[in-house]
Amino acid sequence: MAEVGEKSRIAIVGGGLVGALAACFFAKRGHRVVIYEYRSDIRMEKSRGQSINLALSFRGREALKAIGLEDILVNRHGTCMRGRMLHDKDGNLKEVLYDSVRRNCIYSVNRRYLNVVLLDAAEKYPEVQLNFNRKLVDADLENGKMKFLNTNTGTTEDAEADLIIGADGAHSKVRKIMTRRPLFNCAQTYIEHGYVEISVPRKEDNEFAMSGNNLHIWPRGEFMMTSLPNEDRTFTGNLFAPFRVFEKLKTPEALVRFYTEHFPDLLQLIGKEKLVKQFFEKEPQTLISIKCKPYHVGKTAVLVGDAAHAMVPFYAQGMNTGFEDILVLDELMELYDSDFAKVLSKFSELRCDEGHAICDLAMYNYLEMRDLVTRKSFLFRKFLDKILYTLIPNSWIPLYFAVQFTRLSFRECIAHKEWQDKVLRMSVLCLGFLIFAVLAVPLLRNAI
């Protein structure tokens, strides 16, 4: 990385996964970094935050590799998931590999552990200062001025920076301040589905209760269960369903009937008492999708991660896309020699449409996971993808592979999928015409 002649002051609002990663990258370039985090230090106390487990794939791994953290998070503490394991109502299993040709896999990682590792890594840089219990109250983004509430003391603190990075999540205060500006577009969508987390315990011999190398899915049309393996041999499961379904699950009896009908094998693994206890611990959580443009203000502020493009979790790309944001920022810092005016403008140009594209892909994948995976047409398409990918791997890259195991832009991934669909449709039409011609020739001869 290039040396910086004059150190800039970087304020990162948000000390979660993307904010902590950004601190490492900017500190490595020699900039002075201050993280302002609304929560307490999670390394000191177990605060409850987002619960959905994380799936780390190529885009995120590349960012971690750049700061020397890939090995500890993937090889030492990641749980390999080689494909989806589909469960039907009768308990029958069907494994659908993510990459049957090159054997790539994604890794289940613990959200809290990953955040701790990144905070520890950031704190090792002398250029980094961590300030917890700091709530952003207001900011003058054009002039790099901020006002924070110290939630411990109740006092207000002023701060200044050359660059403000909004890494403060889906309900970003930095983004909210940006909405006051002309020509800033922002749309948020709450989908009519929510989720409840339900853990699957280990077996008595401390082994996995199911295959430990798969993402488990119970697709049921309009709703589904998913379950990701953990390092301690448990599974973190989630019921995703329309809120009108949750409205019918208000009593233990209704919940047990629901699981007996739709997820009997899972009910047996969890147990009725544990299921009821976990399910009613808190209300179903909401799922939000955010699209905005641009991501920056002049040369003084920029949005990254969920603050820029929060998405539903069904493509497992929220964290990976946020990490890739920081990798792209760093690549632009190298290209433009840390000229923030050029870097931020180019970042918006490159990433805004990308953020919109992956938000759309994430919504599509929910339909795929809860419904399409059970259809013969979908499985046949997967079969064709496998054959063509095996024969011409450089030309025929399946959509899921392109998203999870390359850094191909999301727009290119979508365009490539549309081209593939067109090729297959034309192939089917040509094949149908050929069959018709073969059958028609004898009939014509007989007629003559």
Could you tell me which of 424, 325, 409, 396 has the C-alpha nearest to residue 19? 325
In a domain, 39, yes or no: yes
In a domain, 441, yes or no: yes
CATH of the domain at 107: 3.50.50.60
Looking at the structure, tell me whether residues 37 and 155 fall in a common domain. Answer: yes
Looking at the structure, tell me whether residues 421 and 325 fall in a common domain. Answer: no
- Residues in the chain, how many? 448
pTM of the entire structure? 0.91
Looking at the structure, tell me whether residues 399 and 269 fall in a common domain. Answer: no
**pLDDT for residue 319 is more than 50:** yes
Looking at the structure, tell me whether residues 222 and 106 fall in a common domain. Answer: no
Describe the strand order of the beta sheet including 296-297 as a list of residue ranges. Answer: 128-131, 32-36, 9-13, 163-166, 301-303, 296-297
Which structural domain range is residue 412 located in?
376-446
What is the reported pLDDT for 47?
54
Cα 231 from Cα 110, distance rounded (Å): 8
Cα 227 from Cα 371, distance rounded (Å): 16
Q: State both tokens at 386.
A: 């496998």
Q: Which long-range contacts (CB under 8 A, 24 or more apart) does 224-232 make?
A: 224/369, 224/370, 225/198, 225/263, 225/266, 226/369, 227/200, 227/266, 228/53, 228/55, 228/79, 228/81, 228/108, 229/79, 229/81, 229/108, 230/53, 230/79, 230/108, 230/110, 231/77, 231/79, 231/110, 232/202
Looking at the structure, tell me whether residues 176 and 73 fall in a common domain. Answer: yes
Looking at the structure, tell me whether residues 115 and 24 fall in a common domain. Answer: yes
If one counts the domains in the chain, the total is 3
Looking at the structure, tell me whether residues 211 and 294 fall in a common domain. Answer: no
Looking at the structure, tell me whether residues 16 and 137 fall in a common domain. Answer: yes
Confidence band for 2, pLDDT divided at 50, 70 and 90: very low
**Residue 191 contacts residue 312 (beta carbons within 8 Å):** yes
In a domain, 93, yes or no: no
Confidence band for 440, pLDDT divided at 50, 70 and 90: low
**Residue 326 contacts residue 166 (beta carbons within 8 Å):** no
Among the candidates 368, 397, 425, a domain finishes at: 368
Q: State both tokens at 52.
A: 């959905």
Classify residue 133 as left (phi > 0), alpha (psi -120 to 50) or beta. Answer: left
Looking at the structure, tell me whether residues 390 and 362 fall in a common domain. Answer: no
Among the candidates 368, 390, 422, a domain finishes at: 368
Among the candidates 231, 261, 286, a domain finishes at: 286
Alpha-carbon separation of residue 254 from 194, 238, 250, 269, 272 (angstroms): 18, 18, 7, 19, 12
Cα 165 from Cα 14, distance rounded (Å): 9
The DSSP call for residue 146 is E
Looking at the structure, tell me whether residues 325 and 299 fall in a common domain. Answer: yes
pLDDT one-digit tens code per residue, 67-79: 999 999 998 889 9
Looking at the structure, tell me whether residues 249 and 382 fall in a common domain. Answer: no
pLDDT one-digit tens code per residue, 409-425: 999 999 988 888 888 88
Between 448 and 310, residue with greater pLDDT: 310
Looking at the structure, tell me whether residues 113 and 58 fall in a common domain. Answer: yes
